[in-house]
Chain A
């Protein structure tokens, strides 16, 4: 069955420190891959996406993610975290065939210490 796993439920980092959020997926083929962010009380906003090509993708707010086919992973990174990055982060996969549906991970809550 298709699934997305975000192993870390909560992560706390100090402001200015680097960040890596993990995402692993189980899928029969290479899916489309996404990271979304949800600030408190808000809907989800797309951070970045991978469709094909360069496996290192850049997103908004200084985030990047790397697709590693051999590890079925799509980890999200940021070199220096800002207090405003505190939010919940969701990894998602979508099928290349025509469904339009996404499968979401459980989410990782990021707390930023001053």
Chain B
């Protein structure tokens, strides 16, 4: 079974802090994704990565950055956390783009971030 692990389930930070959300997958997947989930808005894509050191902006990248130094790890960074970034953050991974299974995303349990 694919395992996607997010380092924290709950996180409380102060406004202006730099926040790191970590995600690790164990299936050697090329693709990794960061979403935020808010009630009534579904999942919105923040950033994704097709390979090590490669990243592309999603639909709502403002206020976020990412890092992918190793294939199995994809980090989401909030450079200066703000209260409107309080949300549930979900990480996902998927197989290579050359396979039909590329669209099957496997999700971590999520990190609920509160910014005070």
Q: Which residue of B lies closest to A45 (CB)?
A: B107
Our pick among A42, A51, A100 for the contact of B94 (Cβ within 8 Å) is A100
Which residues of chain A have C-beta atoms less than 8 A from B40's C-beta?
9, 106-107
A43→B97 contact, CB < 8 A: no
B31→A43 contact, CB < 8 A: no
Interface size on A, residues (CB 8 A): 25
A100→B103 contact, CB < 8 A: yes
A42→B42 contact, CB < 8 A: no
A90 at the interface (CB under 8 A from B): yes
Asked whether A99 and B97 contact (CB < 8 A) given A34-B103, A41-B109, A43-B108, the answer is yes
A44→B107 contact, CB < 8 A: yes
Give the size category of B's interface with A.
20 to 34
Which residues of chain B have C-beta atoms less than 8 A from A101's C-beta?
33, 45, 48, 58
Our pick among A41, A44, A102 for the contact of B103 (Cβ within 8 Å) is A102
Which residues of chain B have C-beta atoms less than 8 A from A90's C-beta?
42-43
Which residues of chain A have C-beta atoms less than 8 A from B31's C-beta?
100
A27 at the interface (CB under 8 A from B): no
Our pick among B42, B92, B103, B105 for the contact of A107 (Cβ within 8 Å) is B42
Measuring CB to CB, which residues of chain A are less than 8 angstroms from any residue of chain B? 4, 9, 32, 34, 36, 41-46, 49, 51, 90, 94-95, 98-102, 104-107
Measuring CB to CB, which residues of chain B are less than 8 angstroms from any residue of chain A? 4, 9, 31, 33, 40-45, 48, 50, 58, 90, 92, 94, 97-98, 100, 102-110
Q: List 23 A-B contacts (CB under 8 A).
A: A32-B103, A34-B103, A36-B107, A41-B110, A42-B109, A43-B108, A43-B109, A43-B110, A44-B90, A44-B92, A45-B107, A46-B106, A49-B104, A94-B102, A100-B31, A100-B94, A101-B33, A102-B103, A102-B105, A105-B42, A106-B42, A107-B40, A107-B42
